[in-house]
Amino acid sequence: MKIYTKTGDKGTTALFGGTRVAKHHIRIESYGTVDELNSWIGLIRDQEIDSHSKDILTIIQHKLFIAGAILATAPEKAVLKNGKERLNIDKISANDILLLEQEMDAIEANLPPMTHFILPGGHTTVSYCHIARTVCRRAERISSHLNENEPIEANVLRYLNRLSDYLFMLGRGLSAHLNVEEIKWIPEKK
């Protein structure tokens, strides 16, 4: 199988199921941003972090491929003529979302309470978490916009929402682990 097909040379691409759309179509933007997020998470996973966090990030990367596949499927092509689903894969489940919540609770249990917004940064690994968090928020915004026009599975939106929170908490947890000072944002008064 060759990586290049030349079918997109005129600015279109095929969704799962064969529907061709412009490469700037909101559906392409949504799963393309999820793909970008997955790459940033891979970069975090490549850092010198604890094995548990690496394992959770690997699980997340698998779930993001599922989310991408769901986003890459036009609703009218999601079900075959015989009534079976075109995507023969697990979906994003309530348990996947629960895992992120449990991980956040575990991280938070070992941190001081947050009293102010925190400036991103302090260590390269922590900064990667914040970049991934903002890319996740963008993926969520684009997917939410797509959902207004072509409904998508609700758990995809829930997962992206919870994942951005998890990436924030992972950044906080790694700051503590790396002994990095969290710099609070305290607005100046006029």
**CA dihedral of 145, 57, 65, 7, whole degrees rounded to 10:** 90
| CB under 8 A, 24+ apart: contacts of 72-81 | 72/15, 72/16, 72/27, 72/31, 73/15, 73/16, 73/17, 74/15, 74/16, 74/17, 74/19, 74/27, 74/150, 75/150, 75/151, 76/19, 77/15, 77/16, 77/17, 77/18, 77/19, 78/17
pTM above 0.85, yes or no: yes
Q: What is residue 107's predicted lDDT score, i.e. its pLDDT?
A: 97
Q: What is residue 147's predicted lDDT score, i.e. its pLDDT?
A: 95
DSSP label of 46: T
Q: What is residue 50's predicted lDDT score, i.e. its pLDDT?
A: 96
Q: What is residue 14's predicted lDDT score, i.e. its pLDDT?
A: 61
Give per-residue pLDDT as tens, 108-162: 999 988 888 988 999 999 999 999 999 999 999 999 999 999 889 999 999 999 9
- Enumerate domains of the chain plus CATH numbers: 19-178 (1.20.1200.10)
Q: What is residue 5's predicted lDDT score, i.e. its pLDDT?
A: 74
Query: Which parts of the chain sit beneath pLDDT 70?
Result: 1, 7-9, 12-18, 20-23, 77-83, 86
CB 146 within 8 A of CB 63: no
